[in-house]
């Protein structure tokens, strides 16, 4: 039986970065719902390649059916779009196909899905994941610091190393939760010790940090075109501001949804399929409920679309 890995917090920022990186990536892997995609297309591979490299192909391969695999595209047409695709999967025999576009459908060709509309230089999700994983990790480290600082009740100023060591030993007892630690008259040193008291509540800012963390995560969602502004906040914003926010959300949503919809149209026209894509509305709604937000009572924006 494999032993459970014991996590070390010697470098907490790295630990939290890894945690949030995995979470945000898994969130993005489930953000879009593909309807009618052939079962032979492994959506885990397809989505992972799409997010990590910015593009992912689908084509029909012999008796297997429709698949997605590693490979490379090449060539340029009059719009500088790729025209050829060659597989690079050691398990499959080499596949060389023409690339289908809406205005140039190649029967039996390859359809390429892009993460954004930048087909000349495909854009992955690596950057957005790293940025927000970093921000969330920093807030987690600050929260830990706030929790530790809540146990700080004084800052003693000592005169030499021996006094410093005695102070350290006594403070360790305090941090360990012992109600009394002073056992002899000069526990904090033989000389005059200056002690600056600190109010514990001044060090506890976890609620503010939690709000900051929620705001950062909501900002991440809004970059994807997901409306997660709280209803009570919406009632306080001006109508013009609310309309501007909705327009920004719609544009953000189109950044990632539009190229996927275009891919579905190319796929359907090339192979006669009936594939469509949408934001995974149910998962998003559940997430917003868990985060204390709601999409009820909205006008002009529907996450089901």
For the stretch 99-143, pLDDT in tens is: 999 999 999 999 999 999 999 999 999 999 999 999 999 999 999
Q: Match 């690596």 to its residue by tokens.
A: 126
At 150, is the pLDDT very low, low, confident or very high (cuts 50, 70, 90)?
Answer: confident
Query: Is 116 in contact with 124 (CB distance < 8 Å)?
Result: no
pLDDT tens figures, 207-243: 889 999 999 998 999 999 887 765 445 555 556 566 6
Helix (H) or strand (E) holding 151: none
Torsion sign across C-alpha atoms 212, 214, 217, 221: negative
Query: Is 70 in contact with 57 (CB distance < 8 Å)?
Result: no
pLDDT at position 277 is 97
pLDDT tens figures, 241-252: 666 678 888 899
pLDDT at position 78 is 94
Lowest mean pLDDT of 8-12, 16-20, 36-40, 255-259, name the range: 8-12
pLDDT at position 298 is 41
Task: Report which of residues 242 and 4 the model is more confident about.
Answer: 4
Q: Is 60 exposed, middle or buried (0-12, 13-18, 19+ CB in 10 A)?
A: middle
Q: Is 172 exposed, middle or buried (0-12, 13-18, 19+ CB in 10 A)?
A: exposed
What pTM does this model have?
0.76
pLDDT tens figures, 176-210: 767 654 444 455 455 555 554 555 555 678 888 99
pLDDT at position 4 is 77
Query: Is 68 in contact with 169 (CB distance < 8 Å)?
Result: no
Q: Please name the residues in contact with 5: beta carbons below 8 A apart, sequence gap of 6 or more.
A: none
């Amino acid at each position: 039986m494999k032993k459970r890995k014991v996590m070390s917090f010697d470098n907490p920022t790295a630990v939290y970065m890894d945690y949030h990186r995995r979470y945000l990536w898994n969130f993005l892997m489930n953000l879009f719902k593909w309807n009618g995609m052939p079962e032979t297309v492994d959506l885990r591979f397809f989505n992972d390649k799409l997010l990590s490299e910015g593009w992912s192909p689908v084509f029909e391969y012999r008796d297997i059916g429709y698949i997605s695999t590693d490979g490379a595209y090449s060539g340029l047409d009059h719009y500088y779009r790729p025209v050829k695709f060659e597989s690079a999967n050691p398990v499959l025999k080499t596949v060389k196909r023409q690339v289908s576009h809406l205005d140039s459908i190649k029967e039996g060709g390859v359809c390429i899905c892009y993460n954004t509309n930048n087909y000349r230089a495909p854009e992955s999700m690596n950057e957005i994941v790293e940025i927000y994983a970093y921000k969330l990790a920093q807030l987690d480290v600050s929260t830990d610091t706030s929790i530790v600082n809540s146990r700080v009740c004084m800052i003693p100023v000592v005169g030499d190393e021996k006094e410093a060591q005695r102070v350290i030993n006594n403070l360790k007892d305090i941090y360990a939760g012992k109600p009394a630690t002073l056992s002899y008259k000069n526990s904090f040193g033989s000389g005059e010790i200056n002690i600056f008291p600190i109010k514990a509540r001044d060090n506890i800012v976890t609620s503010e940090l939690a709000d900051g963390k929620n705001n950062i995560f909501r900002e991440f969602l809004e970059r994807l075109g997901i409306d997660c502004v709280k209803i009570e906040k919406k009632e306080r914003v001006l109508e013009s501001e609310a309309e501007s926010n909705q327009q920004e959300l719609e544009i953000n949503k189109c950044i990632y949804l539009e190229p996927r919809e275009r891919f579905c149209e190319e796929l359907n026209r090339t192979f006669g399929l009936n594939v469509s894509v949408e934001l995974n509305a149910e998962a998003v709604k559940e997430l917003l409920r868990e985060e204390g937000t709601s999409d009820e009572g909205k006008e002009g924006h529907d996450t089901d679309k």
